[in-house]
Amino acid sequence: MSAAAAVLCGLGTWLPPHAVTNDDLARELDTSDEWIRSRTGIGTRFIAAPSTATSDLAVEAGRRALKSAESDSVDAVVLATTTPDHPCPATAPLVAAQLGLGTVAAFDVGAVCTGFLYALATGAGLVAAGTAASVLVIGADTYSRILDPADRSTRAIFGDGAGAVVLRSGGADEPGALGTPVLGSDGTGSDLITVRSGGSRAPLHGVGAGAEGAVGAGDAVGQAGHADPYFRMAGKAVFRNAVERMADASLTAARRAGWEVTDIDRLVAHQANLRILHAVADRMRLPRRRCPVHLDQVGNTAAASIPLALAHAAATGHLAPGHRTLLTAFGGGLTWGACALRWPALTPM
């Protein structure tokens, strides 16, 4: 018997209620609406309240995805996040419990902005192996917690949010069936997107104080000997890698699905930067109009960006049932991925 295919059958999203516009940022930082829009295409992002954790966003998105799928149970929960509630334990078991899913398998996946695709591939693997007949896959991040308050570049880009899909066991020829995922990584670029302090290499406690735990911290410790707990990104190198990796992975996923570039109806890419989205489309020789854009309204929401973009495109009619759709992302690690599917008839929640 052939392995069961994972079929996407539900989609839910959630954004915190507090919107921060470019003009709001300009009142705090040396920036402007024109500066941000011209470099990123972003106009607004949503920021979680201090009392709101990543699990809170994930629970709401998960609840909505289950409602979209007309289901109240799954066999596993896979949560993609860079900003878990705690370093230990994983956040997914708490999310599963708060959703009333009982003692199902639940675990986190860490692949930064590629996290949702890695989690999607993991969920599909659970279905193919027969371990689960249905899986809730969530991407959720509260990047506002790890941004340097004085860094205008990262604060302009990132927002908080969550998106989730439900996968069920089905046939490979069904609408919503996931194609063979394309995943990759290159650890030689691990310093291009990073939070340097807070892990085993450079624990926050004792760093810079001569403590034994700080030995080997290397460049995680600044010139003044202080820990750096904030997200850092080498913009130009990230841009170049993101465009190359997402375009190449997308073309590979299309070939595996038996598609030519002209067959691709929609390319739903990680919503990192409008220039990156356009450059990926151009490299693939795909019309830019086939690439839905949502980052102008929510910013870069990291692991949540693809499901948020899918929901927005579906709700606005830009993504319709039957569309041959490619999903692709790039993130820290470095990591990247892509996956093909024919968009199913469903109602995002």
159-174 pLDDT tens trace: 999 999 999 999 999 9
What Å distances lie between residue 291 and 30, 174, 190, 265, 266, CA to CA? 31, 23, 28, 9, 6
Q: One of 9, 113, 291, 339 is an active-site residue; which one? A: 113
Q: How far is 226 from 206, CA to CA, in rounded Å?
A: 9
Report the pLDDT value the prediction gives residue 2, as an integer from 0 to 100: 63
Residue 34 has pLDDT above 50, yes or no: yes
217-265 pLDDT tens trace: 344 444 445 789 999 999 899 999 999 999 999 999 999 999 999 999 9
Task: Provide mean pLDDT across the span 104-116.
Answer: 98
Report the pLDDT value the prediction gives residue 206, as an integer from 0 to 100: 59
Q: Could you tell me the pTM of the whole model?
A: 0.93
Token readout for 317 is: 């009619």
Considering only CA atoms, which of 110, 114, 105 is closest in space to residue 132? 105
CA geometry: angle 289, 290, 293, nearest 5 deg = 75
Q: One of 300, 312, 318, 339 is an active-site residue; which one? A: 300
Q: How far apart are the first and last CA of the chain?
A: 35
Q: How far is 31 from 36, CA to CA, in rounded Å?
A: 7
Per DSSP, helices labelled H in 187-304 are 235-256, 274-284, 295-298
Token readout for 229 is: 């707990």
Residue 130 has pLDDT above 60, yes or no: yes
Active site residue 113: yes
**Residues paired with 303 in a beta bridge:** none
Task: Provide mean pLDDT across the span 308-331.
Answer: 98
Report the pLDDT value the prediction gives residue 147, as an integer from 0 to 100: 97
Token readout for 11 is: 């989609």
Report the pLDDT value the prediction gives residue 217, as an integer from 0 to 100: 35
Token readout for 299 is: 């910013």
Mean pLDDT across the chain: 93
Which residues, including other chains, have CB under 8 Å from residue 262's CB and lie 6 or more apart? none
Task: Provide mean pLDDT across the span 100-125.
Answer: 98
Residue 216 has pLDDT above 70, yes or no: no
Task: Provide mean pLDDT across the span 38-52.
Answer: 97
Report the pLDDT value the prediction gives residue 3, as an integer from 0 to 100: 76
What Å distances lie between residue 349 and 175, 257, 341, CA to CA? 19, 28, 20
Task: Provide mean pLDDT across the span 104-118.
Answer: 98
Q: One of 9, 22, 241, 270 is an active-site residue; which one? A: 270
The count of other CB atoms within 10 Å of the CB of residue 6 is: 30
**DSSP state letter for 130:** T
Considering only CA atoms, which of 107, 127, 131, 109 is closest in space to residue 118? 109
99-108 pLDDT tens trace: 999 999 999 9
Task: Provide mean pLDDT across the span 209-220.
Answer: 40
